[in-house]
Amino acid sequence: MDMTFSPEDEAFREEVRTFMAEKLPPEIREASIRSHSYVPKEYTRRWHKILFEQGWVAPSWPKEHGGCEWSPVQKHIYDEEYQNAQAPRLSSFGITMIGPVLYTFGTEAQKQHHIPSILNGEIFWCQGYSEPGSGSDLASLQTRAMLDDSRENYIVNGQKIWTSHAHHADWIFALVRTSTEGKKQEGISFLLIDMSTPGLEVKPIISIDGGHYLNEVYFTDVKVPVANRIGEENLGWTYAKYLLGHERTGIAGVAKSKRKLEKLKEIAGLEQDSGEPLIDDPNFKSKVASVGIKLQALEITNLRTLSAVSSGKSPGDASSILKIRGTEVEQELNELLMQSIGYYAHPYQPGRLFNQQSNMIPVGSDHSVGLMEEHLLRRAASIYGGSNEIQKNIIAKAIMGL
């Protein structure tokens, strides 16, 4: 693959870089630097609207649906400059996940109702997939949706778990069981549910890093109009696989990991080991070089997949490769960042991460803020979005024909 950028590509890079420098509010950037995962909702929404007004909020969407329809190289450049600017991560559930499902499989009424609010950032979404006992084996889910007497509404009962940002979300897209006949994948439907519907309850899960990112969602006789179903009844597994393919492509996180690699080199150049910069230690330098090579290979594979998607193809099962290697590289970088700051990684300081006032004296330099919390939170990266073990099974069955 030709990795040389054309003059037009470089001009686009400069346009993005200039925009980020001029339009990203400093207080939002500062919040993102402290914690890429816990930027306040009001900041995320404000930044979303800035990107929407620029026309850059949906890089992969077709223009006919309000997207940029950028080339793979443009998307790659944009992701790099976005991370270099340390801009906050937008909620991926609207733009990356449910949006493509809506404009591909949704009715005209569903598109008109939901797509504008996804693009302008007015409505936040979350994903109702995993359940207790139905994580990696998602098709075993038990949340039930039964038609009422009018046959115009489903009555939903059950529980979802590990639901990211459910406490911020206005809507949830959920997989529910509408039939117990045939294969378990054949009895699943895909519903769009208003989070304000009576009978829906959200309870927090505090993760190991000390933050509120995850939730449990309970459904007790929740009434959902049949008009809120995507596609046909009992074919939800088809739409879910389409969505997961897009999610696992994005989950590779190439630009984010490239930014982490640069930060790792920067910190290792500042921290001392036996009076010498850590980056000069042959053993540590070898580890940095090794993860850098893995990241470069991942970047090329990701570009190939983006190119296939841009030509109208689905990311398909090849996205499992990106998910596995992307999360492995991210976790390896986090481990090396922990090694680079040494004993400064030991103090647990979630208050610094969330910009909370504390009478405790900060420990360590500014470049260590948030690294331990990020390391802890992203231990789950190899599990969420479909565990890496399951992804290996997908590769063995679908790609290798085993």
List residues with catalytic annotation. 247
**Nearest-angstrom CA–CA distance, 313 and 64:** 18
Residues 143 and 158: their CA atoms lie apart, in Å, by 4
Query: Which 8-state DSSP code applies to residue 6?
Result: P
Q: How far apart are CA 79 and CA 99, in angstroms?
A: 19
In one letter, which amino acid is 266?
Answer: E
CB atoms within 10 A of CB 262: 12
How far, in Å, are 7, 80, 160, 195 from residue 14 at the CA level? 11, 12, 43, 41
Q: DSSP string spanning 46-105?
A: HHHHHHHHHT-S-TTS-GGGT-----HHHHHHHHHHHHHTTPPPPPHIIIIIIHHHHHHH
Cα 336 to Cα 17: distance, rounded to the nearest angstrom:
28
| Cα–Cα distance measured from residue 93 to residue 126, given in angstroms and rounded to the nearest whole number | 6
| Whole-angstrom distance, CA of residue 21 vs CA of residue 32 | 14
